[in-house]
Amino acid sequence: MSAPDLILPDWPAPAGVRAAFSLRSPGVSSPPFDSFNIAAHVGDEPGAVAENRRRLRERLELPAEPAWLTQVHGARVADLDAQSSGGSLEPADGAVARIRGRVCAIQVADCMPVLFASADGAAIGAAHAGWRGLAGGVLEAVVDAMRAPPEALLAWLGPAIGQRHFEVGDEVRAAFLATDPGAAAAFAANPRGRWQCDLYGLARRRLAALGVTRIHGGGWCTYADAGRFFSYRRNGRCGRMAAVIWRA
């Protein structure tokens, strides 16, 4: 049995905080979910998803099943400490935890996962930050829910669609400029009268505005690297990858 391929965040996480990002192989899902799909909502065989999730737990020696959120591109944050083990979660696009044994997880296939840790290692968090979540305040909501000074937080920006391949309309640009005129720097006009959107740039701006300056990661493109990443923009029906963080 092959172990799943991973990206381990290159950031100065405090002792006891662990994090990882799963890639699209090797797993047991058949096309178009080939092969390490961890999402149960995309139409994949439930047994294949369960086996891929089991392999992720085994590979990372996770202390528990990750809290798989029902993500809706909003800004609600689930406090995993308030959840019973194995209990159902309301739809949310962020999660925080302080108790050891809770595993925050974000599922993506172009949207940006953002992981957080307090410098003392006492609190962790995760956000599902596509353009709607970013514009809607999901990063702000997770930072607030962590109940730690922003300057004491570390953030890691996981793989997302890059600016070259993320074309959006005027309504997306307007959603950001309505509250931050400086966000215009994250949009480049293209010959089709639309915009190339820099999710990484937008996330960095919003984190910096909160006072979070210890920002790591970024620079991948899920669309461009079909060998390692699922991409909804590239393929439509496809699997999902997972960004997970926990206190060991």
What's 11's domain CATH number?
Answer: 3.60.140.10
Does 231 fall in a domain? yes
- How far, in Å, CA of 124 to CA of 64, rounded? 15
List the beta bridge partners of residue 21.
7, 243
User: Is 202 within the bounds of a domain?
Assistant: no
pLDDT tens for each residue of 125-141: 999 999 999 999 999 99
In a domain, 203, yes or no: no
**Does 200 map to a domain?**
no
pLDDT > 70 in the chain, percent: 97
Distance CA 95, CA 107 (A): 12
* Contacts with 154 (C-beta within 8 Å, 6 or more apart), sequence order: 11, 12, 13, 14, 116, 117, 118, 119, 214, 215, 216
Query: For residue 15, how many other CB atoms are within 10 A of its CB?
Result: 7
Tell me what pLDDT residue 83 has: 77
**Residue-wise over 182-210: b if at least 16 C-beta within 10 A, else e?**
ebeebbeeeeeeebbbbbbebbbbbbeeb
Length of the chain: 248
Q: Does the pLDDT of residue 235 top 60, yes or no?
A: yes
Q: Are 140 and 146 in contact (CB under 8 A)?
A: no
Residue 241's domain comprises 6-164+211-247
| Model pLDDT, residue 88 | 57
Distance of CA 125 to the CA centre of its chain: 10
Mean local confidence (pLDDT), 176-186: 97
Count CB-CB contacts under 10 A for residue 138. Answer: 27
> What local confidence, expressed as pLDDT, does residue 150 receive?
96
| Structure confidence by residue, pLDDT tens digits, 24-75 | 999 999 999 999 999 999 999 999 999 999 999 999 999 999 999 999 999 9
Phi, psi (rounded to 5 degrees) for 31: -55, 145
| Cis omega (within 30 of 0) for bond into 159 | no
Considering the domain boundaries, does residue 180 fall inside one?
no
Q: Which of 31-35, 87-91, 151-155 has the lowest mean pLDDT?
A: 87-91
Cα–Cα distance for residue pair 34/24, rounded to 1 Å: 7
pTM: 0.95
> What is the predicted pLDDT for the residue at 54?
97
What's the average model confidence in pLDDT over 170-198?
A: 97
Task: Tell whether 187 is covered by a domain.
Answer: no
Distance of alpha carbon 195 from its chain centroid, rounded? 23
Distance of CA 202 to the CA centre of its chain: 15
Q: In what order do the strands lie in the sheet with 214-217?
A: 77-79, 94-97, 124-129, 112-118, 153-157, 214-217
Residue 94 maps to a domain: yes
Measured CA to CA, the distance from residue 164 to residue 198 in angstroms comes to 8
CB contact burial 64-83 (16+ within 10 A = b; e otherwise) = eebbbbebebbbbbbebeeb
Mean pLDDT, the chain, whole residue set: 95
pLDDT at residue 86 is higher than 70: no
Q: Is 204 a member of any domain? A: no
Q: How many domains does the chain have?
A: 1
